[in-house]
Amino acid sequence: MAISLADFPEVFVSTTATSEAVSRAVAAGRMRRLASRLYTTNMREGEATLVRRHLWSIVAGYFPDAIIADRTALEQQPASDGSVFLVSESGADVDLPGIRLRPRRGVGRLPGDYPRGNGLYCSSPARAYLENMRPSRARSGVARTLKPSELEDKLEDILRNGGEAGLNRLRDQVRDLAPDLDMEAEAAEFDTLCGTLLGTRDARLRSDRARARKAGKAYDATRIARLELLHDALRGRAPAAPRLLTLGPEAQTHQAFFEAYFSNFIEGTEFEIDEAVDIVFNGRIPDERPEDAHDITGTFSVVANPDEMCRLPGSYEEFERLLKGRHATIMAGRPGERPGEFKLRANKAGSTSFVLPDEVTGTLMQGFEIYRRLDQPLDRATFMMFLVSEVHPFKDGNGRVARIMMNAELAAAGEARIIIPIIFRSNYLEGLKALSLNDRPETILRTLDFAQRYVAEIPWNDFRTAAHVLRSTNAFMRPEEGDAQGIRLRLPAAYDFVDIPEAAEKSKGDAPSTPTP
């Protein structure tokens, strides 16, 4: 029976049965050769792209009895040089566009090895870890097995995601499998390595992450990489002139009120301005909402204290004391939320899961060392806010304390603080998400830069005037209302306030009476 073009997949390994039909199709320009015995009916896409897309079916075509092994079994992808390591009864290396298949002889399929399709199997996790305990040298290309530090990082991932029970299950599986592979010595070394990570043994560790966990300072490596990304973005932007802002005592109080008001509104603690003035300046705590009221007064007591807001950490120990102390103050009205104490349980917001409780201290320590490499106040403020927000070290109150830590950097340098008005809440949160979920720092950098510029242009000396300008620039509008009407936060400079105090006087309904601090 004649073989038609439709009988062939997009990429395939030719056999004796198909070689004649393939030769005719290649001669007719309907197929092309990618490598020895490897052909495609796709005449447009690049060779390396096609090989990557069909990699495992190609492997099965060349080595139908193969087991994906060694480092490839753990990494589940080709190595950095394109190597794919296999256990097979026969065969030599096969070079493909961007890929090299590298078989070796070894023990055949064992219980736990699982199918990858087309008759191809992959080593079980226990087998893969055990075989990666055997050292190998890179004679041409990468080594067949992982480096000790790389293997330790993999085990650290198991420990942080599956806990001690997950690592101990793997430990038991390796021990049971070792006789089938004649690798009892390697299994004993693996057992010692696992025990060291769990704190019951004391072997030498090569991985920074593994050593940190052994020392009780485990950290979230993904978060640290993201913080390094933010650091590089901050370092890479063009230096800008600082937005210096000198305020008298009354102006500082007015600004602190709105900073506390807006920071709590972001977190869902919503009051009308008149209500908040009564709470902060007259001490009138509503009977039906005492905890919400204490959130505002607690935040205000920190941000209105010029001495407190000029304290910056010179060491990690000072950083942790400031962080916990400020959190204890703003959350004093909610004793059930553990004011001033790091969380005991994992927390999340929407689709974002934050740093695990046993990795909070280590991640903050690593992040603090990155923060120390920055020197511009706005850069340090931005980084500090994101560090605290991304780690989320407390059960509640993380956003508020993150913004306090941010503004302390600016206050200490005499720069305008950053306040996030109600209408700007979505911009701020979307900026955080863009960096947290997609590693894109540009949005949050633009958002915070605009917010600082906005604050620098508000006339804080008179409370009524400041409230009037905030309202006139849409600061109090909810984001969903602004989006529906096409309204955005506007810079005060974009408005022509001929006589701001007079305009404020004419709109007494828009702003409360000037409070007495």
Q: Is 131 inside any structural domain?
A: no
- Whether residues 27 and 156 share a domain: the answer is no
Q: Which two tokens stand for residue 517?
A: 């601090």
SS3 419: coil
Instruction: Check if the beta carbon of residue 444 is closer than 8 Å to that of residue 432.
Output: yes
Task: Give the number of residues written for the chain.
Answer: 517
- pLDDT score, position 495: 58
Which has the minimum average pLDDT: 27-31, 90-94, 279-283? 90-94
Same domain for 10 and 68, yes or no, is yes
pTM, two decimal places:
0.84
Please check whether residues 229 and 372 belong to one and the same domain.
yes
Question: 233 and 203, same structural domain?
Answer: no
Name the H helices within 107-237: 125-132, 148-181, 184-198, 208-214, 221-236
Whether 355 and 490 share a structural domain: yes
Confirm whether 444 is domain-assigned: yes
Which of 156, 183, 214 is a domain's end point?
A: 214
36 and 119 housed in the same domain: yes
Same domain, residue pair 236 and 306: yes
Domain count, the chain: 3
Q: Do 163 and 68 share a structural domain? A: no
Region 201-211: what's the mean pLDDT?
94
Q: Which residues contact 180 (CB under 8 A, 6 or more apart)?
A: 107, 110
Clarify whether residues 158 and 61 are in a common domain. no
Residue 182 and residue 309 in one domain = no
72 found inside a domain: yes
Segment 372-393 mean pLDDT: 97
> Would 366 be classed as within a structural domain?
yes
Which residue, 179, 195, 214, sits at the end of a domain?
214
The answer to the question of residue 139 being in a domain is no
Residues 188 and 313 in one domain: no
Report if residue 129 sits inside a domain. no
Place 328 in a pLDDT band, splitting at 50, 70 and 90: very high
Q: Does 112 reside within a domain?
A: yes
Mean pLDDT for the chain? 93
Query: What CATH number does residue 323 fall under?
Result: 1.10.3290.10
- Residue 239 pLDDT exceeds 90: no
Binned at pLDDT 50, 70 and 90, residue 4 comes out as: low
The answer to whether residue 515 sits within a structural domain is no
Is 201 in the same domain as 227? no
The boundaries of the domain holding residue 176 are 148-214
Q: Residue 138: which pLDDT band, with cuts at 50, 70 and 90?
A: confident
Helix or strand run (H / E) with residue 444: helix 442-456
The residues pairing with 117 across neighbouring beta strands, listed in sequence order, are 120
For 487-510, the pLDDT digits (tens) are 999 999 755 554 454 544 544 444
